[in-house]
Every structure is written in C-alpha cells, then in structure tokens.
Copies of this chain bind each other. A is one copy, B any other.
Amino acid sequence: MKKTASVAAFPAPGHDHDRCATDAIAHAESLCVARAQRLTPIRRRVLEALLATHKPLGAYEIIERMGGKAAERPAPITIYRALEFLRENGLVHRIESRNAFIACIHKHASGDPVVFLLCERCGAVGEAASASIAETLKSASRAAGFTPKTPVIEIAGICSHCREG
C-alpha cells in the first residue's frame, strides 16, 4: 500500500532538515535562473530564514533571524518586498490565519491549491496537495455561481508526531 503523491508530508521531527533547506535553496536558484528573476542577497536571506524552520514566521521574526547587528537589520518594508517576490515565484506561502509566512518545500505549480496543516502544539506546518479537494471545492463554488481562483485552505489540529510522541 504505497502512499499516493496527492497527500503530502508533515515534516517529521527527525528528518534531514539541512538537506531539506539546501534542496529548497537550490531549487529557488535554478527556478530564478530559468525565469530570469533575481534572487538577490536579501531575498535569499529571507528565504533562508524561513527555511530554517517549518513554522510560519512574521515579519519581525524574519528580521531577527536574519541576524546581523540591530542597526544593520532591514526594515519591515524590505522584508515585505522580498516576501512579495518570493510569493510571486511560488517559493513562499502566506498563512492567512496566522499573518505569517512559510517557505514552500514542494515544487508545485504556482496557483495550485494547497492545504496547510497547522499543528497547534509544535507549530510546524505541513502541506498537503490534493487534487480531489481542489475539484470538490471548485464544483461547490461553481454550484453557487461563483468563479473561483485559488482557494485558501488552512486546517489547525494536532500532528501525528505531537499526538504519539
């Protein structure tokens, strides 16, 4: 009984996260090259800050984690601009129910509907892409005479590692 590709990963506590982050950066670089987009140092540092954890981070938290002396830290607007760029390129998601951001560690097409699983205990966020959910939602909204764009789906709960551990 193999897992389907449609249901995806909640990050396991013991996973190889260095690899996880390195891969994501590599993917971001190649994607930006392919699109002739510029992954500038600031944008890269914001992405790296987000990739350091699987928890969603707010703007100030990102600033703190970008390191450097307090005086050298970028202003919030700089972070938001970088986040805008990263989101446009599908490298970062916004978690609406938290007013926070998280790096995408998948390679789904931008505009793809994604289900976010937010663990209330450990704070980690998993992504589950499901074609069936997308279809159900689209047909339901069309039944209401609605022309849908990308849905926002966020589910709070308890992840398996927190429940069992």
Given A99-B99, A117-B141, A141-B115, are A157 and B152 neighbors across the interface (CB < 8 Å)? no
* Number of A residues with CB within 8 Å of any CB on chain B: 43
Interface bits A108-146 vs B (CB < 8 Å: 1, else 0): 000000010101100000101010110011001101111
Complex-state Cα separation, A30 to B126, whole angstroms: 41
- Interface stretch (choices A7-15, A36-44, A45-53, A75-83): A7-15
Which single member of B99, B126, B147, B160 contacts A157 (CB below 8 Å)? B147
Q: Residue on B with the closest CB to A113? A: B155
Q: Residue on B with the closest CB to A143? A: B7
Q: How far is the CB of A2 from chain B (nearest CB, A)?
A: 12
Q: What are 15 A-B pairs at a CB distance below 8 A?
A: A115-B140, A117-B141, A117-B148, A133-B133, A136-B136, A137-B155, A147-B159, A148-B157, A149-B156, A149-B157, A150-B156, A151-B155, A152-B154, A152-B156, A153-B153
